[in-house]
Amino acid sequence: MINTLKERLIQLSNYLSQSEIDLLEQAINFADNAHHGQKRATGEPYITHPLAVCEILLEYKADVTSLISALLHDVVEDTDTPIHEIELKFGEQVSSIVEGLTKVEKGQLEKEEYTAINTEKLLSASVNDIRIAIIKIADRLHNMRTLSVKKIEKKIPYANETIIFFVPLAERLGLYRMQKELEELSFNYLNPPKSKTVQKLINNYAVKFEAIFIKCFDEVKKEGDSLILDLEWNKEPLYRSYCLLLEEHALSDLFSIKVITNAPLLCYTALGIIHRLYTPIEHQLIDNIAIVKSPFLKQLKTKVLINNIEVIFIIQSECDKKMNDNGVFELLKGDLSSSEITTLSNDLIAFELLQRIITVYTPKMDVVSLPKGSTIIDFAFSLNSQLAFSMSAAKVNGQNKPIQTVLNDMDVVEILTTNNNMVKSDWLIYAQTSKAIKEINELLNM
């Protein structure tokens, strides 16, 4: 089995140069020897795990440094191999990444403190080299794929940590395929009945949506001629779908049709075609080509009526679709210097991910986790966007407080609402989290 896995990795690495493939083979053998005799909880040889993590990265055509680091990511932590031996054999970049992925000694630390220290170490190291975060996400993905062998008391906290921390991190880095699978695997463990119910709703609506897509494909392609390269339809990840349904979104909001054009400027031409063919819904156009909010989501988004059904269209150029499909890996292509890697990493790891997290409660004792320094405005948007839009006042620990009040750990916050839209431009002064800032901006720009 191990030899078959090794052979598959070499086959998938055919986009690398021969010298890089040779180096990858050396790393495979080095990791195999280092983990010799060790077993996973599944009963498989331990080497199957780093090989699987490497395979996940190969699917994205990752650079050889990332692949080697993935193979060696547990060597220092779980074997007697010192970090200087890795540096000697595979270079400073690989050893630095492996060091960033290696957990600190647990000693007498409590579990919560130990987890917090390792999370801070991971994110701090990722600021210098974003590949550390990427490998950790791939590592988490494979562990989630094999979580079934763990006891139930370990499955739930592990899946919960995945939803709270690793899913947003994957999204921030444009790793949407990993994000989707992490969400679905976690949701299946956290709430199996809800997971099955939502999946059934999605599957049923997918039949109806596919018919709409076939109709649109023919009509848009005919009208767009050569400027429309392709159309495809997508659906939101399972857990994201569940959250949208909780916020009373329609099933149609879980699906979208993506239109691919030759160039970014042609996206606007395609938008005009779609609006001529179908009735646009007012205040539903979001332009993330002119106003870039993420390097991985340069697109136009609109909503139209087709046979009295609301349908979301996403319009992207071919080059931006590649960025959307490959995320941070697209930015890492080519031989980047250490300083260029650090600059890229600083741009992608948002400051709020490095901040200390506080726990805030609703009056019903629902938990909301926020970065330290967050205000009532941030709390409201994190809890429920529709609730935030109509927020008129708030109470903290039973006392009336201005909505710009900075919250403390363990505060209990009650949001008071009206029937009107209460969002004002000065809310942007006090909002600290990216979710609140994004949604306030979108509402003000409508």
Of the residues 22, 77, 113, 247, only one is catalytic, namely 77
CB 308 within 8 A of CB 160: no
Best CA proximity match to 145, nearest among 44, 245, 224, 234: 44
CB 359 within 8 A of CB 367: yes
335 is an active site residue? no
Best CA proximity match to 119, nearest among 169, 57, 50: 169
Residue with tokens 């996940």: 56
Residue with tokens 């063919």: 277
Helices (H) and strands (E) in the chain, counts: 22, 11
d(CA 278, CA 324): 26
Of the residues 78, 87, 219, 223, only one is catalytic, namely 78
Three-state secondary-structure class, residue 356: coil
Amino acid type, 328: V
CB 368 within 8 A of CB 362: yes
426 is an active site residue? no
d(CA 168, CA 381): 16
d(CA 254, CA 206): 10
Work out the end-to-end distance of the chain between its first and last CA atoms, rounded to an integer number of angstroms.
57
d(CA 265, CA 315): 11
CB 79 within 8 A of CB 34: yes
The residues annotated as belonging to the active site are 77-78
